[in-house]
């Protein structure tokens, strides 16, 4: 990195000579790097000065930095090799990866149920309002931060504001916890997929070894049988409880390992590994299948669902508006929370993915495509789910209220029951669980990518020296996550699964999101981030986006956080039939604290390490962004924190020294 001083007495001729020499060095450096690449050295290049990797594309209005061959010049020691940061092969891969991440199992089992419970069709009004006010602006913000800093969540938040670096670490911890149990759902889907080739389907009847005397095969019954049948358990429920899970009576008894599920879990992690083993070079190709194939399946299911007898009963429940619910604050909170959970705000995946973008990639169109695709998918999933549940209610002689459910109970109990009533049930069952597999695998490898990117950003040099290959790092991360997920595939694992699902993300998400937004838009500054976007794309975000960053988003996140704490109830299983003991609730809070405590602990560390003679000076130093040069090419920023816009790239009067930036 070249050094700048505040000495204004340099001779003009010396400046001209220096620029000429720098230009010559730049050209020679590019030639050397090109030669290295010709000989197959695509993984690293030497970074001696910031200008050695600067490539500018100029026009009348802006100067934009293209992707350099070397990244991170400001953090490399003299003579130290710098790693080339991978980039997506094209924009389509990036968009498909993001769509695969945001469109997941939650679209199938959370949104339809939440819509039904929050006013039916009326819920779509607050949902889309929150999407426009909160979802789209915050998605744009995360993509901008990742693309500008060229780092995963931890490195990005450290560059934005060292005091809040803990938000990045909290995101990675939450992602790790999520990865350990989310893949268990994929393992269940694999188990059902394998059993879908049997004739008859094993969850159809009550003549199996795992069925009890109270098993009911789902046939329609008359009113005189209501009392008797209400005490029975459906065949799909018994398949799920007694055969798939072989669940114990409670978390106090974990039982033994479910070896079939262990095998399915191992296969699921092998799939994730091969999606990620070559980095975005492999995942970028996988998403062409996993992000698009579910839409073919969803389309087929919608057509089938709409032609089933009784489907209109479910659609009426789904779309019938209850306008009075719009006056309830909880409905609006649910709408905002759905946007956060579905789009993946504060989960870190989108920030990690965008860090592999070209530096001059335009973000607004990407943001709109990703967010609107997710919203449309939610509605399509609702039609698919409630059309099928309407048929299930019609076949069983029940109301939709009695068969509607969410979460695993929907996709592994209610849906299999409906599939078994369709013509050619094996075909539809294979299609459905293949769809679940694709939806789940996308979100899973996006979650694991957060962990891998963060580790590489922090320990890239050590990894290159000791692990040698990216594949080894991916293998280690997948193996550790696999081991940590083993309690979920024991006979009592469903109880542990319920606890970690509730406390790992549901409790922590709004807390992490709040401090992330505060760090970016209030401490670092929404206007400074906007100028960063202009440095990348040549255009400022519009005033609406910046207004949402500064006012709407923090207020909404705070409201969601407060309401979630006010409405806190300890988790239960099977609609309250099983109450978790106190020690397990304490274990759940301990899991939650793994991410919650990362923010205050790293904040204290940042203050202690900051320069200053007293606590006030240290606090002020800890909130200042260490970004002093373009994260892409290393060119020093000007007083407006820009390196490439307008005359910033060529006007030395706009450049300032480190001391001036520190006091700015």
Binding positions for Na(+) are 100, 103, 107, 342, 439, 442-443
Q: How far apart are the first and last CA of the chain?
A: 21
In this structure, are residues 331 and 325 in contact, taking their beta carbons and an 8 Å threshold?
Answer: yes
Which residue bears the tokens 């670092």?
A: 524
Are residues 150 and 631 in contact, defined by beta-carbon separation less than 8 angstroms?
Answer: yes
| Long-range pairs for 263-266: beta carbons < 8 A, 24 or more residues apart | 264/187, 264/188, 264/190, 264/191, 264/194, 265/183, 265/184, 265/187, 265/482, 265/485, 265/486, 265/489, 266/482
Which residue's structure tokens are 């709109």?
A: 368
The C-alpha atoms of residue 87 and residue 85 are separated, in whole angstroms, by 7
CB atoms near residue 205 (< 10 Å):
15
User: Angle, to 10 degrees, between the axis of helix 493-501 and the axis of helix 165-195?
Assistant: 140
Q: Answer for the pair 222, 263: CB distance below 8 angstroms, yes or no.
A: no
Rounded (10°) angle between helices 470-484 and 425-462: 120
Taking the CA atoms of residue 578, residue 584, residue 585 and residue 590 in that order, the dihedral angle to the nearest 10 degrees is: -150
- CB count in 10 Å sphere of residue 506: 15
- Return binding residues: 100, 103, 107, 342, 439, 442-443
Phi/psi at 613 (5° precision): -95, -15
Give the integer Cα–Cα distance in Å for 311 and 298: 16
630 φ, ψ to 5°?
-60, 120
Report the alpha-carbon distance of residue 54 to residue 632 in Å, rounded. 8
Rg (CA), the chain: 27
Q: Hey, what are 481's tokens?
A: 């996550």
Torsion of CA 223, 229, 230, 233, to 10 degrees: -150
């Amino acid at each position: 990195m070249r050094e700048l001083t505040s000495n204004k007495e340099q001779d003009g001729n010396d400046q001209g000579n220096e620029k000429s020499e720098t230009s010559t060095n730049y050209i020679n450096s590019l030639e050397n790097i090109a030669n290295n690449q010709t000989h197959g050295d695509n993984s690293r290049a030497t970074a001696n000065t910031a200008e050695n990797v600067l490539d500018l594309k100029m026009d009348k209005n802006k100067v934009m930095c293209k992707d350099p061959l070397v990244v991170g010049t400001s953090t490399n020691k003299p003579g130290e090799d710098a790693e080339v940061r991978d980039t997506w092969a094209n924009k389509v891969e990036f968009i498909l990866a993001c769509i695969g991440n945001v469109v997941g199992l939650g679209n199938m089992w959370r949104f339809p149920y939440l819509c039904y419970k929050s006013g039916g069709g009326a819920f779509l009004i607050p949902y889309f309002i929150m999407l426009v006010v909160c979802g789209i602006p915050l998605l744009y913000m995360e993509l901008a931060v990742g693309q500008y800093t060229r780092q995963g969540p931890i490195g990005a938040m450290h560059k934005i504001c060292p005091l809040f670096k803990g938000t990045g670490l909290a995101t990675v911890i939450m992602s790790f916890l999520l990865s350990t149990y989310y893949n268990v759902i994929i393992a269940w889907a694999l188990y059902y997929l394998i059993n879908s080739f049997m004739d008859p389907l094993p969850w159809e009847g009550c003549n199996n070894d795992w069925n009890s005397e109270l098993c009911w095969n789902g046939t329609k019954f008359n009113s005189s049988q209501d009392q008797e049948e209400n005490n029975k358990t459906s065949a799909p429920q018994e398949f799920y409880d007694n055969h798939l899970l072989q669940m114990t009576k409670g978390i106090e008894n974990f039982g033994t390992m479910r070896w079939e599920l262990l095998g399915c879990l191992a296969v699921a992690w092998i799939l994730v590994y091969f999606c990620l083993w070559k980095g975005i070079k492999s995942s970028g190709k996988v998403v062409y299948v996993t992000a698009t194939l579910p839409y073919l399946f969803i389309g087929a299911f919608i057509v089938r669902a709409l032609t089933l007898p009784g489907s209109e009963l479910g659609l009426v429940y789904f779309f019938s508006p209850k306008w009075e619910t719009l006056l309830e604050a909880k409905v609006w909170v649910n709408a905002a929370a759905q946007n956060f959970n579905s789009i993946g705000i504060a989960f870190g995946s989108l920030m990690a993915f965008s860090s592999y973008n070209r530096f001059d990639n335009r973000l607004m169109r990407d943001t709109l495509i990703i967010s609107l695709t997710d919203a449309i998918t939610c509605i399509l999933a609702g039609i698919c789910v409630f059309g099928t549940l309407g048929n299930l209610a019609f076949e069983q002689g029940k109301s939709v209220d009695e068969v509607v459910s969410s979460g695993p109970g929907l996709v592994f109990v209610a849906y299999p029951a409906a599939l078994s009533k369709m013509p050619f049930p094996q075909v539809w069952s294979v299609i459905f669980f293949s769809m679940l597999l694709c939806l789940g695998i996308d979100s899973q490898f996006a979650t694991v990518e957060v962990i891998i990117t963060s580790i590489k950003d922090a320990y890239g040099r050590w990894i290159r020296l000791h692990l040698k290959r990216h594949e080894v790092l991916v293998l280690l991360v997948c193996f550790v996550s696999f081991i940590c997920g083993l309690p979920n595939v024991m006979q009592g694992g469903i109880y542990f699964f319920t606890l970690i699902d509730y406390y790992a993300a549901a409790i922590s998400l709004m807390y992490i999101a709040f401090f992330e937004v505060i760090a970016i838009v209030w401490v670092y500054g929404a206007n400074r981030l906007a100028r960063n976007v202009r440095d990348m794309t040549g255009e400022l975000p519009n005033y609406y986006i910046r207004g949402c960053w500064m006012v709407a988003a923090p207020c909404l996140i705070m409201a969601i956080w407060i309401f979630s704490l006010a409405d806190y109830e300890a988790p239960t299983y099977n609609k309250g039939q099983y109450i978790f003991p106190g020690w397990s609730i304490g274990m759940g809070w301990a899991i939650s604290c793994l991410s919650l405590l990362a923010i205050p602990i790293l904040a204290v560390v940042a203050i202690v390490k900051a320069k200053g003679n007293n606590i006030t000076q240290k606090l002020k130093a800890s909130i200042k962004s260490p970004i002093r040069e373009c994260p892409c090419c290393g060119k020093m920023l000007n007083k407006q924190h820009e390196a490439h816009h307008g005359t910033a790239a060529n006007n030395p009067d706009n450049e300032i020294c480190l001391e001036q930036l520190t006091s700015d």
